[in-house]
Structure 1
């Protein structure tokens, strides 16, 4: 397969007119050449923090505090998950996965509740087992929780927060298993940031209330951070200091709870860009390669030898036509209607035009 258009190549998203040749799920060649058409080719998104089990309860809990909404074990989300059948949860997650694919997400990092069974339910949603949605191509990195045996089936452990339990033992088990450990920190307040960092996590999530002492510690340790600014605004905890975090460490974007926000990386990018006023290229890295780096994946960049997870936009859509700064336009204004094709693992999973 090959794709032609304006290619946003490399970590800096340098616009190059040409053709991408894909074979066996990999970008094998990028050829600079004149091409016809207005396609814009960039990496598929890596959504670095999701809770898609929440798909059963979209827009539930208006007016509730963060703890009332999601705190384990009896926040609204957890009560709803317990009261919903497995079949309903799998079907709801499958629909969110289909939406994520259609809006350009190739990989997501999921904090999955429910222990071993919760991970199994997510795998069934991806494979189409027991639902009508069909098998999905979207790739997952699943961080389990709530069960001492979850590391046997998950890709890592996703801790709720240092104030919720003693995670020393599970951190040691995760390290011994050679798997990733992520933890929420600094979402409600700053009290759990240092205890979370004491666990030497592979990454932190949220860091809304990071103070200078925490920022300095991040810079010293090089601990990556995933920010979810739309979710933080909805739960009324504030918004993360995205610019200050990005000046000190690797920052990626996540859409967090489907209960609160759609899992659209277009919307997350636009909000983060306008909130932080960071350069558009930095925000696009947060939505692609930075999440891939956190998870140790070979994607998120259009370059030879990388996984062929690609997003193709219609550069002549009514929304994007006339853009003077293409990367800025993608970050601040592009949306689902501009998507022409989504390629995951070298396979076209969404197509609104012919592919050669």
Structure 2
């Protein structure tokens, strides 16, 4: 398979005119060449933080606070998840996963409620779909062992020291929510030496220092934070100190569109377009330990092909900026997963 056009090559997403050669599901070559295609070839997205079970209740809970919406065990989402049947939950998750794949998302890091059974729901939902979920179990050690790691709700919700040690011993991924409502749970989360933090809306100077000293990545979800009224993360300041990736968070509150998340983050933080695109691709793949997110030989062929001659993108003077701030689902010409 050969894909031609303007290729955003390598970890720096340098635009070149040329082609990508795909063999046996991997990128065999990226070649500079005179080509006639207007297509734009981008690494497929990695959505670095999702709660897809919440697909059963899209746009529920208008006007509720964050705790009323999602706090365990009796926030609205948890009550609705307990009430839903397995068939309802799996079907709703599958529709969201299908949409994600069709709009260029290759993988996601899913914080999966419901213990071992919740992990099984996710595997059932994604069966035969090309998108790759990195599932982090929640609530129990058994869920961690049944998945790719553990996704902790936050240090204010309990002591996760034992589960952190068990996850480390198992050689698996450990992520934790921190700094979403206020700064008070950030230091306890950092004390766990997590593989990554989620949200970090309210970091203080000491937290910035600790992030930089220990090189702990952060996944930000600015649209979700805005909707829940907790504020928005200081994306630029975080990116100056550590790796930052993007997630769409709760499917009850937000669409799983990485186009929307990337555009919002870029305009909110006014970061360079290439940096915003890295947050949606390279950085999420790095956190998840995936061999995608970059268009270069040896990487998995997970590609998003945009129509550079669409009414939306035609005439763009800066291709990377146009992809980040302008492109959307209507511009998708092909997804190679």
Q: Is the structural similarity TM-score above 0.5?
A: yes
Q: 1:230 aligns with which of 210, 218, 223?
A: 223
Q: Which residue matches 1:180?
A: 173
**Which secondary structure does the structure 1 equivalent of 2:184 belong to?**
coil
Query: Counterpart in 1 of 2:268?
Result: 275
Alignment of 1:165-314 (within 5 A): 165-314=158-307
Q: Which runs of 4+ in 1 moved over 4 A?
A: none
Does the Cα contact within 8 Å between 1:273 and 1:332 map onto a contact in 2? yes
1:351 matched to which residue of 2? none
Aligned residues of 2:9 and 2:15 also touching (Cα < 8 A): yes
Which residue is 1:130 aligned to?
none
Normalised to the residue count of structure 1, the TM-score between the two structures is 0.94
SS of the counterpart of 2:158?
A: coil
Q: CA deviation at 1:148?
A: 2.6
| Pairing of 1:22-37 with structure 2 (within 5 A) | 22-37=22-37
Secondary structure of residue in 1 paired with 2:135: strand
What residue in structure 2 maps to residue 97 of structure 1? Answer: 97
Unaligned runs of 5+ in 1: 128-134, 345-356
Provide the rounded CA distance (Å) in 2 between the counterparts of 1:82 and 1:35.
54
Name the SS for the 2:141 alignment partner. Answer: coil
Q: Deviations over 1:150-171 (max 9, x none)?
A: 1221101000000101101000
- Aligned residue number for residue 79 of structure 1: 79
SS in 2 for 1:15: strand
Aligned to 1:325: 318
Matches within 5 A, 1:316-355: 316-344=309-337
SS of 1:27's partner is: strand
8 Å Cα contact 1:227/1:254 also seen in 2: yes
Instruction: Tell me how far apart the structure 2 counterparts of residues 180 and 17 of structure 1 sit (CA, whole Å).
Output: 37
Aligned residues: 337
Cα RMSD after superposing both structures: 0.6
Cα distance between partner residues in 1 of 2:37 and 2:291: 29
State whether residues 114 and 147 of structure 1, in contact with CA within 8 Å, keep that contact through their aligned partners in structure 2.
no
Spell out, residue by residue over 1:12-64, the C-alpha distance to the aligned partner (whole angstroms, 9 max, x if none): 21111111111111101112111122110010000000000000000000000
Q: Distance in 2 between matches of 1:32 and 1:184?
A: 42
Please name the residue that 1:140 is paired with: 133
- Deviation digits for residues 224-282 of structure 1, max 9, x if unmatched? 00000000000000000000000000000000000000000000001000100000000
- Contact 1:5–1:36 at 8 Å: present in 2 too? yes
Q: Which residue of structure 1 aligns with residue 59 of structure 2?
A: 59
State the distance in 2 between where 1:77 and 1:31 align: 48
Q: Which secondary structure state, in structure 2, belongs to the residue aligned with residue 149 of structure 1?
A: helix
Structure 2: segments with no counterpart, 5+ residues:
none
Give the number of the structure whose residues are more often helix, by fraction.
Answer: 2
2:88 match: secondary structure? helix
